[in-house]
């Protein structure tokens, strides 16, 4: 019997639940990936993310080949393609990993229906989270809307260990492969074939090996100090595994196991506190996916009602200045330069620039949410929407008005001005204190072609609060 494993956000063969279960039934397992125009041509797509995706597909295809099978690539709508493909090959069943995003769920229902109509069997697994939606509920049986109680419950639930990875697979014969040409079987396209361009190195190289190596490096060099290192954007002090997690290039079970092993070997209370802090980040990722699954309307707009009618500014010039990193606030502009040049931004800076967009420029957080999705190589609907709603105070977070002062943030988290100087080299010669407090004179700014501040922080935060009181 032949099983088709339809890959989506599970671009790995290591520690893959649906694969491990399928392998118990047969060695004839072939991977399929559909380049889906509904995703690729959506306005929330980022060149760096597509570059990472294509690289991961290449690595997955190589991995299949090493095991003796194939990853088949089609540029097609999976609802149309999968029944035809399964019939052409006489596949016994199609298996896949479930997803929490609203579009993915609709698509999967349509695919399942189309396959069943043709009499084809399907099997699905939850596999992108340690605990899937429905597993972490309040005592009353409801989904959590606040992180801390979610975490307390999530952390004490028993955790699954990694599953075994097949050492060999059997693929299609040459004659079977020939049958696929009419269906549009193709090689992995170039980025430019899909209408994107990205020529920078990605923050993490695509593929399973790079993610596993990065995890090992992170555990050996950073994890035990993560509680401190994670706050300083000038340091390489976080895992950089966000895109690998988003595309399922590494499994959450593998990450969890690494934290448990590190915990067992840890030598101090501080080390254990750091490991737990990182585990909490993994739980944030799961929390936001549970929220999106249970409250899909989050993807469309604010959760909290005062924000449904909030009188946002419509100032396109301010928005463009924010996107381009030309606000005249060094920490903001450095962070946006990091995003625009690398496709990634440090978490501390994501919080600072998001607060600035919403509380200082008083622009709709959804503009920022979209811009992040158009630029981040780890852009992920649940995490990004969660992060923006948290920053805008429009989400589930119980603390309503969190306003970051960009100068105080810079002083605390970039005390030597190293991050600012890296991303804004034209400001490198200035005094660190002036960089952090923004006390550069108009003449100094002009000399290096750096803009004056677009707004005044104190005035704007008062204005934001005034508007908030009006709608509350
Ligand atoms: P680490 O610090 O090593 O954390 C480990 C993993 O935990 C991350 O890879 C990520 O998967 C998860 N994680 C950490 N923090 C969060 C968080 N706050 N929410 C959800 N998951 C988290 N993360 C994304 O993966 N995609 C996004 O599109 C995204 N957009 C964001 C937008 C805003 C406004 C904010 C404030 C945060 C956003 N985040 C997003 C969360 C966080 O900034 C990134 O996950 C993190 O910076 C990635 O770097 P890392 O892998 O080195 O993280």
Residue 25 CA, ligand 1 centroid: distance in Å = 37
252 lines ligand 1 (CB under 6 A): no
Domain residue ranges of the chain, discontinuous segments joined by +: 1-127, 129-160+210-294, 305-471
Residue 212 CA, ligand 1 centroid: distance in Å = 18
DSSP lists the bridge partners of residue 72 as 32
Residue 380 CA, ligand 1 centroid: distance in Å = 9
Q: Which of 292, 302, 289 is nearest to 390 (CA)?
A: 302
322 a catalytic residue: no
281 a catalytic residue: yes
CA 372 to chain centre: 10
347 a catalytic residue: yes
Rounded to whole angstroms, how far apart are CA atoms 262 and 259? 5
CATH code of 129-160+210-294, in short, is 1.25.40.80
Helix (H) / strand (E) containing 71:
strand 71-74
388 a catalytic residue: yes
- Encode the chain (472 residues) as per-residue pLDDT tens digits: 999 999 999 999 999 999 999 999 999 999 999 999 999 999 999 999 999 999 999 999 999 999 999 999 999 999 999 999 999 999 999 999 999 999 999 999 999 999 999 999 999 999 999 999 999 999 999 999 999 999 999 999 999 999 999 999 999 999 999 999 999 999 999 999 999 999 999 999 999 999 999 999 999 999 999 999 999 999 999 999 999 999 999 999 999 999 999 999 999 999 999 999 999 999 999 999 999 999 999 999 998 877 888 999 999 999 999 999 999 999 999 999 999 999 999 999 999 999 999 999 999 999 999 999 999 999 999 999 999 999 998 887 767 688 999 999 999 999 999 999 999 999 999 999 999 999 999 999 999 999 999 999 999 999 999 999 888 8
Atom of ligand 1 nearest to the CA of 379: 28
Nearest CA to ligand 1 atom 24: 383
* DSSP secondary structure, 116-130, as one string: HHTT-EEEEE--SSS
3-state secondary structure of 29: strand
DSSP 448: T
Those residues whose C-beta lies under 8 Å from the C-beta of residue 115, and which sit 6 or more positions away, are 82, 83, 86, 94, 121, 122
| Residues 251 and 159: beta-carbon distance below 8 Å | no
Architecture of domain 305-471: Orthogonal Bundle (1.10)
With 0-12 / 13-18 / 19 or more C-beta atoms within 10 angstroms meaning exposed / middle / buried, residue 459 is exposed
- Which top CATH class is 1-127? alpha beta
Note whether 129-160+210-294 and 305-471 share their fold.
Answer: no
389 lines ligand 1 (CB under 6 A): no
């Amino acid at each position: 019997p032949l099983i088709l494993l339809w890959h989506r956000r599970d671009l790995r063969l290591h520690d893959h639940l649906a694969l491990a279960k399928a392998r118990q039934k047969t060695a004839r397992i072939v991977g399929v990936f559909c380049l889906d125009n509904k995703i690729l041509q959506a306005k929330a797509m980022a060149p760096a993310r597509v570059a990472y995706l294509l690289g991961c597909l290449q690595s997955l295809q190589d991995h299949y080949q090493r095991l003796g099978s194939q990853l088949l690539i089609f540029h097609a709508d999976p609802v149309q393609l999968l029944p035809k493909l399964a019939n052409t090959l006489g596949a016994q069943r199609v298996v896949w990993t479930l997803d929490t995003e609203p579009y993915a769920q609709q698509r999967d229902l349509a695919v399942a229906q189309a396959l069943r109509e043709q009499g084809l069997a399907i099997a699905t697994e939850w596999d992108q989270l340690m605990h899937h939606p429905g597993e972490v509920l309040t005592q009353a049986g409801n989904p959590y809307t606040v992180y801390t109680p979610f975490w307390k419950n999530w952390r004490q639930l028993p955790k699954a260990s990694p599953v075994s990875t097949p050492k060999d697979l059997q693929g299609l014969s040459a004659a079977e492969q020939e049958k696929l040409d009419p269906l549009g079987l193709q090689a992995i396209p170039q980025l430019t074939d899909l209408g994107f361009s990205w020529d920078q190195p990605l923050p993490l190289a695509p593929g399973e090996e790079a993610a596993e190596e990065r995890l090992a490096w992170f555990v050996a060099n950073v994890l035990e100090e993560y509680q401190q290192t994670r706050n300083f954007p000038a340091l390489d002090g976080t895992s950089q595994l966000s895109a690998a997690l988003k595309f399922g290039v590494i499994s959450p079970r593998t990450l969890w196991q690494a934290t448990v092993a590190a915990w067992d070997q840890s030598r101090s209370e501080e080390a254990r506190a750091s490991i737990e802090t990182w585990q909490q980040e993994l739980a944030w990722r799961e929390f936001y996916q549970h929220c999106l699954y249970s409250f899909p309307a989050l993807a469309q707009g604010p959760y909290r009602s005062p924000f449904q009618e909030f009188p946002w500014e419509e100032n396109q010039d301010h928005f463009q200045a924010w996107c381009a990193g030309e606000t005249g606030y060094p920490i903001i502009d450095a962070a946006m330069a990091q995003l625009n040049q690398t496709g990634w931004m440090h978490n501390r800076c994501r919080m600072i620039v998001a607060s600035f967009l919403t509380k200082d420029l008083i622009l709709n957080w959804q503009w920022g949410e979209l811009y992040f999705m158009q630029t981040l190589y780890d852009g992920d609907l649940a995490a990004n929407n969660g992060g923006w709603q948290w920053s805008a105070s429009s989400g589930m977070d119980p603390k309503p008005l969190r306003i970051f002062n960009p100068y105080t943030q810079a002083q605390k988290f970039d005390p030597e001005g190293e991050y600012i100087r890296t991303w804004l080299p034209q400001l490198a010669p200035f005094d660190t204190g002036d960089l952090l407090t923004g006390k550069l004179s108009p003449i100094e700014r002009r000399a290096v072609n750096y803009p004056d501040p677009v707004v005044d922080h104190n005035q704007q935060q008062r204005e934001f609060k005034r508007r908030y009181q009006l709608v509350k």
